[in-house]
Structure 1
């Protein structure tokens, strides 16, 4: 009978050890997921800030381009407007 009791005690001890290992593993997985999520959010934020800076630069570049080449800009705008007008006019016929 003592042999069975010893085996049961050993089994309980082993189960407690497995339970503790599983809890440690689950905590490690959780911590890793939180860290990866935080890193992904930080990368997304940096990318968003970079895009915002790039978008803010577009009007300045356009203004400089128009200022450097005013005649070309006017003719390009006229030509593009003419083409769009022709395409829209074709839809009504």
Structure 2
């Protein structure tokens, strides 16, 4: 047995086992830390996405209000043209639908 006694081999095995347990404990700690970091990053990214979505919704709402106001103004300025355009659009849609 390479000149090692049973007691020496047992002591080395126990030492290796203890070192392995310590390494596993350290890896668990590292893994927990990584998971917490990823979780935090995901929360930050989700919050950023939510804020961007809110900004886009606000911009779309503002644009809609401006366009609506502009269309209403055009209708007030040219009521006969607006009626003619609406009639023409309705006629075209009716023809496309086959009615």
TM range (shorter): 0.7 to 0.9
CA distance, structure 2, for counterparts of residue 45 and residue 72 of structure 1: 37
Q: What RMSD in Å do the two structures reach over aligned CA positions?
A: 2.0
Task: Give the gaps of 5 or more residues in structure 1.
Answer: none
User: Which residue does 2:59 correspond to in 1?
Assistant: 50
Larger radius of gyration: 2
Runs of 4+ off more than 3 Å: 67-71, 81-88
Which segment drifts farther, 3-12 or 74-83? 74-83
Which segment drifts farther, 38-47 or 67-76? 67-76
1:42-88 CA-to-partner distances (Å, cap 9, x unmatched) read 11111111111111122211022223434432322232344445556
Task: Give the gaps of 5 or more residues in structure 2.
Answer: 1-9
Q: How many residues are aligned here?
A: 90
Which segment drifts farther, 49-58 or 36-45? 49-58
